[in-house]
Structure 1
Amino acid sequence: MNSPNRRTAFTLVELLVVIAIIGVLVGLLLPAVQAAREAARRMSCSNNFKQIGLGYHNYHSAFNSLPMQSGGTWLKNVTSNATNRSFISTLVMITPFVEQQALWQAISQGDVTYGAMGPPPWDTNFEPWVTELATLRCPSDPGKGLPARARSNYAVCQGDHMRLVNSGGRNHRGWYQSTDDDNAQITGNATTDDSTTAVRARQTNRGMFWARHFTKFSSVIDGLSNTIMAGEVCTGIGQREIQADNVYNVADALVKDASISVKTCLDQIDPQRPAFIRVGVAVGGDVTNTIGRGHMWADGRLQYTGFQTILPPNKPSCFRGTDASQGMSTAGSRHQGGAHVLMGDGAVKFITDSIEAGDLSLTPTPGGGSPYGLWGSLGTRGSNEVVGEF
């Protein structure tokens, strides 16, 4: 006998089971895909840093010194912006060593309006200052476009102190100037040196880079492999994040002539939302939109292309005034759990947020090791600290 015809098809239950299984598999797969994407971005970021490290080493080979942070041409005419007034970052100086020869020529030759090395880095009429470079951006950082002029996620290490670090002790005419506590006369107009300021600046500028001064690898007596040359910084997306927004107009206790107060900066954190800055505290966008963290790659001030090894990565950055003032810039990144640093020997390492940071209630003293533990020790060039594995 012929067997009866039988329909072959999925039942509704079977179809729902298959859909459920596919949904579970997709749910398991997506985190792995996201993790793989972030791993690729982190590797690209590390490669950018290695390229920048080669740029610094090649510059040193060519000129027998590191490029000057907040360097360039000194102000001659007090009323003129025809020069860059010694506000140029080290990143400008290494452009010919990171495959940016055309941009370097445009900067070094100037144009019909501005002379060689261009105007101050906040002058948006000078095209190079608003040209963003892929080499200076971490792919994990989502910040882009206005109000920034041209962003950077890489900053040089300027030690473990706040006092006289943003200016290096010198005004924009090249003289050591007797200071006030807010801006350390970074834009002062004295034409003679104040010896007290010169001595104090030498004591407090303990990093591989010293603003408005040249440093050399030979001055890094702690060893290049034990000293941080540069580190990552975040740029803001307008959300008042502690690792991506500068806090401005902080209490005077933050930086005094004889002491600094890290707690004053930590007090700016919202206790209810510890990843964010307290409501009512002024950040970059509340003061002037353009003075956000990392918003000008060509500017040598701490707020844009410098940091100190005081607070561990991804903690707040605070200043007594705005972007010409004294304060503290902190390393940070969008990578989970820490940030990359570039060591003096060119090695790129990942530093976790939990790195040992010593006693934050203390102030560094001349001739003493950093009070900020392993993190602080890595940021000083000549304090003779013993640095183990990290």
Structure 2
Amino acid sequence: MVRQKNYGFTLVELLVVIAIIGVLVGLLLPAVQAAREAARRMSCSNNFKQIGLAMHNYHSAYQLLPTHGAGTINGTGAGSIPAATVPVNAVQSRWRDSLVCNNSKLSAFVGLMPFMEQQAIWEQISNPSTDGGTWNAMGPTPNRLDYKPWATNIPALRCPSDPGQGLPASGRTNYGACLGDSVFASSMLGDSIYSDDANPTPAAASQYNRASHRGFFKMWNNKGNFRDCLDGLSNTIAMGEMITYLGDRDIRSSTQGSGGGNNATLIRDNPLACRGQIDPARPRFWSGTAQREDRSRGYRWADVSSVFSSTFTILPPNSEICGRSNFNDIVIIGTMSSQHQGGCHVLMGDGAVKFITDSIEAGDPSIGGVWKDGTGVRAPGSISPYGLWGALGTSASKEVISEEF
């Protein structure tokens, strides 16, 4: 009798093979994840490159940079509904919400839309519309979620590594205009903090603005162009990357405040004023609930407000952001950040995209910023007190960039 030979596997052999496969998968998975992140990082860099090309094409067409803080203003002054019942100084009215105009609260990205192959969105914005409401040309203030262009997520403005989506954000952005190394009043047209007059004139407020407008972009109808960049386009950051808030108390995308209430001078004089609110057990998160979560990083691509679409070179990349308890725009320490490991992308004035590490030389972050009445290293026109990082953010302080970055 001939016995048939069994060619099957034993249970032990199967378990050994499964174990080997599991070990191989465990070894390969990090490499696969790293490869995916490298692809996302490359895509993010390409997005920034396209924004740089759009910026240069805009400048070629108009001999100006896109204005960071442009738009329409209601002729009655206040720009509110009903405007005639709100007797407020026209300077302060810029911060009021409106249905009939945008109160010059539009970011530089709005003007770049036709140059970023977003002609369809630009057509909606630049013409009157009845889609979801009755809207004038250039739309309402950017807080209006019912105005579809402001609520649209534009892929070219999103980093693939950032998973943020949904309310309370409107259309998100992971890129912001660089306003330099000074924040005090750089993004505010008028406030009683500048003067004993509760309704300061534009001339009074502009004195503070001029001292703080040290970056590649200036705010509120400043018609900048390439020739204003005296430090050189290749030595000046035009825009920086930033993460959007995920509802997780991340110190880079929300703030718990300095503990000083609405004291703007506290933050102006000490960029580290919010550091005491960081959870020592989890240094990437605040110890308590974030304030004003609806006004978090990157939540409105079309809004000129510093927290939404602006970046600064004060604290090193991926440091905390810091603002007053009401989180308005007199003082917001809003540095650059990303979901990439170890740093973030920046767009230089010449259109080059570079990756800046968190360890870049950034001077003494405890020194207060340059402002109108500052002295010494804080005097208007002085070189940046924030080392190489600050020097890259300023456009006309005559710093010499001698280091590779």
**Structure 1 counterpart of 2:344:** 339
In structure 2, which of residues 253, 273, 294 is the aligned counterpart of residue 244 of structure 1? 253
Check conservation: 2:258, 2:277, Cα contact below 8 A: no
TM-score, length of structure 2 as denominator length: 0.86
What is the one-letter code of the residue matched to 2:117? E
Residue 202 in structure 1 maps to residue 210 in structure 2: yes
In structure 2, which of residues 234, 240, 250 is the aligned counterpart of residue 231 of structure 1? 240
Cα RMSD over matched residues? 2.4
Q: Distance in 1 between matches of 2:114 and 2:153?
A: 15
Q: Distance in 1 between matches of 2:242 and 2:22?
A: 38
Q: Distance in 2 between matches of 1:266 and 1:315?
A: 10
**Structure 1 counterpart of 2:67:** 68
**Structure 2 counterpart of 1:102:** 120
Check conservation: 2:260, 2:266, Cα contact below 8 A: no
Label 1:300 to 1:37 Cα distance change in 2 as closer, same or farther (>3 A).
same
- Write the deviation string for residues 205-254 of structure 1: whole angstroms up to 9, x where unpaired: 10011110221111100000000000111111111011222444752696
Label 1:262 to 1:130 Cα distance change in 2 as closer, same or farther (>3 A).
same
Label 1:119 to 1:313 Cα distance change in 2 as closer, same or farther (>3 A).
same
**Structure 1 counterpart of 2:277:** 268
- Write the deviation string for residues 129-149 of structure 1: whole angstroms up to 9, x where unpaired: 111111111110000111111
Alignment of 1:272-291 (within 5 A): 272-280=281-289, 282-285=290-293, 290-291=294-295
TM-score, length of structure 1 as denominator length: 0.89
SS of 1:340's partner is: strand
Q: Distance in 2 between matches of 1:230 and 1:254?
A: 28
Query: Tell me, which stretches of 5 or more residues in structure 2 are unaligned?
Result: 84-97, 371-377
What is the one-letter code of the residue matched to 1:383? S
Residue 373 in structure 1 maps to residue 390 in structure 2: no
Check conservation: 1:254, 1:265, Cα contact below 8 A: no
Check conservation: 2:49, 2:347, Cα contact below 8 A: yes
Q: CA deviation at 1:259?
A: 4.7
Which runs of at least 4 in structure 1 moved beyond 6 Å after TM superposition?
A: none
Q: Distance in 2 between matches of 1:205 and 1:73?
A: 22
Q: Distance in 2 between matches of 1:328 and 1:110?
A: 36
**Structure 1 counterpart of 2:174:** 153
Q: CA deviation at 1:313?
A: 1.2
**Structure 1 counterpart of 2:161:** 140
Q: Distance in 1 between matches of 2:256 and 2:61?
A: 38
Q: CA deviation at 1:271?
A: 1.4
SS of 1:332's partner is: coil
Residue 129 in structure 1 maps to residue 150 in structure 2: yes
Aligned length: 371
Q: CA deviation at 1:324?
A: 4.2
SS of 1:339's partner is: strand
Q: Distance in 2 between matches of 1:32 and 1:209?
A: 39
- Write the deviation string for residues 25-60 of structure 1: whole angstroms up to 9, x where unpaired: 111111111111111111111111111111111111
What is the one-letter code of the residue matched to 2:238? M
Alignment of 1:310-349 (within 5 A): 310-320=314-324, 321-349=326-354
Q: Distance in 2 between matches of 1:52 and 1:241?
A: 27
Label 1:324 to 1:110 Cα distance change in 2 as closer, same or farther (>3 A).
farther
**Structure 1 counterpart of 2:362:** 357
What is the one-letter code of the residue matched to 1:26? V
* Overall identity of the aligned pairs, in %: 49
**Structure 1 counterpart of 2:8:** 9
SS of 1:43's partner is: helix
Label 1:274 to 1:166 Cα distance change in 2 as closer, same or farther (>3 A).
same
Residue 88 in structure 1 maps to residue 106 in structure 2: yes
SS of 2:231's partner is: coil
Q: Distance in 2 between matches of 1:42 and 1:232?
A: 12
Alignment of 1:163-174 (within 5 A): 163-167=184-188, 170=189
Q: CA deviation at 1:353?
A: 1.1
- Write the deviation string for residues 87-119 of structure 1: whole angstroms up to 9, x where unpaired: 000011100000011111111113252222111
What is the one-letter code of the residue matched to 1:389? E
Check conservation: 2:313, 2:393, Cα contact below 8 A: yes
In structure 2, which of residues 127, 139, 149 is the aligned counterpart of residue 118 of structure 1? 139
SS of 2:210's partner is: helix
